[in-house]
Amino acid sequence: MRFLFFILFCSKCYTTIAQDKITSFIQVDSTNFKKLNPYALRGEMDAVFEILEVADDNSLTEKQLIKKKNYYKRFLYRAENYNYNTSDPQIIDILNRFQNYWRSIIIEKVDQKLADSLFRGEMNFFLKKHYKPKFSLDEIDQDYYSLFKSYFKDKGMHGFAMAKTGHLYDLYLWKNEDEIVYDIVLPEGSTEKVPVVFMKNFISYGWSHYTTFGQSFSGGWVTPTKLFCVEETYDKNSEKFKISYVSHEGQHFLDKKIFPKLKQTDLEFRAKLAELSLAKKTINNLIKNFIIYSKNDTSDAHSFANYMVIKLLAKEVFDSEFESDIEKWKQIPHVRINEISLRLLKEHSSNLKALGAKSIEEYITKF
């Protein structure tokens, strides 16, 4: 039994965005069209379509015009010719179900708890019908995450479903992978020997890839035993890979052992400080991205971590509350940013340990 969500084919339903956001995009052209991406990355599609509605087509590049049309095709008209990268009808069915669920929340504004409950029941029934017919729905509900992993394995694939990325249940699914062991030296001095799994040939990169048309999505993640990396995202010889992936995820790997109950916001705060304590060539780009994708909202772990990193750095460097002018940041030597970031990371470690390393759940959200 499949739960179907209803679509409103009307762009005028995107009128709930705050007035300050609307006025920010009165003159949308090719130079600021990219500002829609941070909203899309957070699933704030009302803001995305406000930007698209006021964008002057005559001032957009050809690629931007195509992207604008694709947003309407995917999210309003449901007229997209989607490339599933598989011919397996069950996998296609799963992906369609996830996309329907994502749209139900970010487009149709179905109540989050209701949508989650209905979708979880729907996916439990899928497993019973296609994979574990002898299991009761209650038994499946107790172990649906592991069951999906084994289901994908039996299909000759790798992946997981029904863990949450941000506020939405997510789907990551790929066909091939290789594993390499790295020795990771972290900013505070420890060295971790960590297996890195390089994932290739994706079927689903998760909901952020879906909402941004592949412009932004997770390049990897960490488990208690391994790191996982989307191979196509990185040049393995680049600082982006060595620092923004290996050191960032390596910091997660260590922190999950030292601070086992620490929540995502603090984990991301620490990993971003680790990046800034090591980066040289990419430091200005890191700061720029942290500014662009920052939001003073504790419900969004990545965005709030970005916000707190820039806030604390700005206090040290400029004696200001928050500095969003990247040109000012470019005037600061990377060595100074490295030093301040490392000190902030060490101070955070000290505070967490003083509060109880094994029990502390959050810290920066209480600032």
For residue 3, what pLDDT is reported? 36
Q: Would you state the structure tokens that stand for residue 212, as one six-digit string?
A: 């941004």
- Other CB atoms within 10 A of residue 93 CB: 13
The residue among 213, 334, 192, 352 whose CA lies nearest residue 276 is 334
User: What average pLDDT is seen over the chain?
Assistant: 90
Instruction: Print burial letters for 210-232: b (CB count within 10 Å at least 16), e (below 16).
Output: bbbeeebbbbbbbeeebbbbbbe
Contacts of 25 (CB under 8 A, 6+ apart): 32, 35, 50, 51, 54, 55
For residue 300, what pLDDT is reported? 87
CA dihedral angle for residue 345, residue 246, residue 232, residue 169, rounded to 10 degrees: -60
Stretch (H or E) spanning 227:
strand 227-230
Amino acid at the residue 129: K
Q: Which residue has the tokens 């060539």?
A: 281
- The whole-angstrom separation of Cα 275 and Cα 244 is 6
For residue 10, what pLDDT is reported? 33
For residue 35, what pLDDT is reported? 83
The residue among 29, 49, 40, 288 whose CA lies nearest residue 166 is 40
For residue 208, what pLDDT is reported? 95
List, for the chain, all residue ranges whose pLDDT scores fall below the cut of 50.
1-25
pLDDT digits 0-9 by tens, 156-195: 999 999 999 989 999 999 999 999 999 988 999 988 888 9
For residue 257, what pLDDT is reported? 93
